[in-house]
Structures are given as C-alpha cells and as structure tokens.
Amino acid sequence: MNPLLDKLQPYPFEKLRLLLNGVQPGPQRPVSLGIGEPKHPTPDFIKDALAGNLAGLAVYPSTPGTDPLRGAIAGWLERRYGLPKIDPATQVLPVNGSREALFALAQAVIDPRADALVICPNPFYQIYEGAALLAGATPYFANSDPARNFAPDFASVPPDAWKRVQLLYICSPGNPTGAVLSLDDWKELFDLSDRYGFVIAADECYSEIYFKPEAPLGSLEAAHKLGRADFRNLIAFSSLSKRSNVPGMRSGFVAGDAALMKRFLLYRTYSGGAMSPPVQAASIAAWNDEGHVVENRAKYIAKFSQVTPLLQQVLDVDLPDAGFYLWARVDKLCDISDVEYAKRLYAEYNVTVLPGSYLARDAHGINPGQNRIRMALVAEVDECLEAAHRIVEFTGKLARR
C-alpha cells in the first residue's frame, strides 16, 4: 500500500459522525446545517437536457470534452468576468466536479523530489491537504486573519518556505469564511508566484452565491485587470454544483494558463477523468442560462437576511461576502468549545452544525477554527429559520447557566 495514505487525517464529516455517535438527539425534527450540499431543486431544463441525451451513453467520451461544452464554458467566463476572448481549445477543460480536479492538479504539478511545500489556507477544504500529501509534498498552512476579512496571512510565510512552494491553494469566496479576495490580495499572490515560481489553484465554486450588488472578483478577472493576459501559473476551478443545484451531476471546469492546461490534460488522459456525454449536454444548458442562477441567489439572499440577524443575538457572526456558510464564534455569551457546542446542540435541539476546529489545523500556535462553528444554510428558508430559532434558544440557555 502507498505509505502516504497513512498521513491522511479523518474527513471533517467523519469526525462529526464519531462525535455524535451514540448521542440521543433532541425530540425535535432533525435539521442539518452540517454539510454544504445544496438542497434547492435542480432546474427542470437541466434534467431535461440530461435525460434527452442518454444516447450519448453508447460512446466513449473524450477527456477534453466536446467543442460545444468548452465553448459554453469559455463564453460564460467572458460574460461573467468581462474577459477578452478565451480559447476553448487551450484554456478550458471540463472536469467531473472541482473536487477531483483540485486533487488531480497537485499530482500533475508537484515534483516530490524537491522537498515541496503546498500552501493551504487555514481553515480549509480538506482536499487541499490530502492532495498535497499524496503528491509527496508537505502542506504549509497560512492562517486566516479575522482582522483582514479572513484573508490568509501570507505575510507570515517566511522566505525560506516560499522557496519550496510549488503549489498554492486559495478559495475565494472562501470555505468556511465566505471571504472574497480583493484585487490587492490577488496582486500580492501573483507577485509571490512570479518571484518563487509556484502554481496558484483558485477554487471558485461559490462564486455565484453572493449578497452584494457586485459579483465577487474572480482570479482570471483579477489577472486580466493586472495585465496578466496569459494567466501565467494560474488555474481557476469552478463547478455547477452550487451555481445550478446539481451536486450529483459532478460537473465543473478548470481554466487558465494554456501551458499548464496542456500538461494537466496529459495527466487526465491517463487518469481517466472524462465527462459523460449526457452530463456534458446538461452542462452546456446550465452554463448558457443565467435566469436560474439569479433565482437561486435570491433564495440565499432571503435566507441569510433573515437568519443572520437572529443569530447575531447570541453568536458573533456577520453576513459573509459570499457563499452559503455562516462562520460564527460560539463564545460570545458562554464559555464553551466549538466541539462541545455542536454536541450539545444536537443532543438538546436536534440541530447539526460543524465544529470549526474540524476544518482547520493547529498551525503557528493556534487553531483558527477553534470556538467557531460552520453553518450551511442550504435547506429551504423555513427550515433554516427553525434551526436559527433553536440555536438562539439553546445558546441563551447556556448563557444563563
């Protein structure tokens, strides 16, 4: 067996399962805010496109995908981010969801002989860490800074570490914080990449769920604004899962530096990552339509505008820039850890949340997820409001004890 497998840590949801194993939940109907799985209905026109192209199951799909799919993705990038012409043949590649592509990129770009480091934000999506470890690299965690809207503190990374960095993962809008990087943040990253030669993997799967009039700045958009027309050393990752409520379809794309894309395509040709033809057809329909995205975003705006003020009565929590998570401190009114809070909330009120410390690592003397919880507002508004009222009642009782 590959000895690197022994370095992998349990996934956050496995930790949560073990935490709640054997705990008798409260008598109320269960409400889960633990897993970030979209619960809004899949649009009918996407389901119709999928069902109407089942004849495609009779042929082997190609790894690069069809010209119409790559063209639809390129067109969406141009419209969404105000980009000049994107070359669908060299700068776009469909993938089976951003998760597997985020993992695969590390296997393609890391030279394990070079004592490589992979920079990860902290807290973070655990695929980044696992991808680094199984590529033979060592994760280096850049802690998020609440004083900087939870942007990772890249200034704290010493030059000796930067010299070993081959890949940097960044998530904007962030998971779990919802923070969006500014143009100045991207300039800092691009300058560091130019100086030290590492690849930037920009995870943007939450880009279409936001609460301000202006859409979040994307990595390719930032590169364009900063005169980096070739997107050098930059690969952006996106997905239909959250945007179009199709997590089970496993459809996304990578786009960016044509030289990196060429090598990544070579890797994927061998790893077998081709998208099913019916999924490609449904993806074309989804990328070409914005109406359902606007409706979906309106649902999240309605939820967050009602739930956030309720929770602010008892928790230290603010409306995020984007995404569908609330990242809340639980010790505003009571002295309790995030793990104990999640366990007792489940036991007394049958609401599931994810302890923030499960999403982070101890690094540089702290765990930046400690005393926080992540709440995924993915259910319909009534269910999220019910959970919020229970959380307010539970936390208020804790404060009185």
CATH 3.90.1150.10 fits domain 3-41+292-400: yes
Per-residue pLDDT of the chain (401 residues; tens, 9 = 90+): 999 999 999 999 999 999 999 999 999 999 999 999 999 999 999 999 999 999 999 999 999 999 999 999 999 999 999 999 999 999 999 999 999 999 999 999 999 888 999 999 999 999 999 999 999 999 999 999 998 889 899 999 999 999 999 999 999 999 999 999 999 999 999 999 999 999 999 999 999 999 999 999 999 999 999 999 999 999 999 999 999 999 999 999 999 999 999 999 999 999 877 999 999 999 999 999 999 999 999 999 999 999 999 999 999 999 999 999 999 999 888 889 999 999 999 999 999 999 999 999 999 999 999 999 999 999 999 999 999 999 999 999 988 66
Does the 55-289 domain belong in CATH 3.40.640.10?
Answer: yes
Predicted structure pTM score: 0.97
Domain ranges of the chain: 3-41+292-400, 55-289
Contact call for residues 105 and 167 (beta carbons, < 8 A): yes
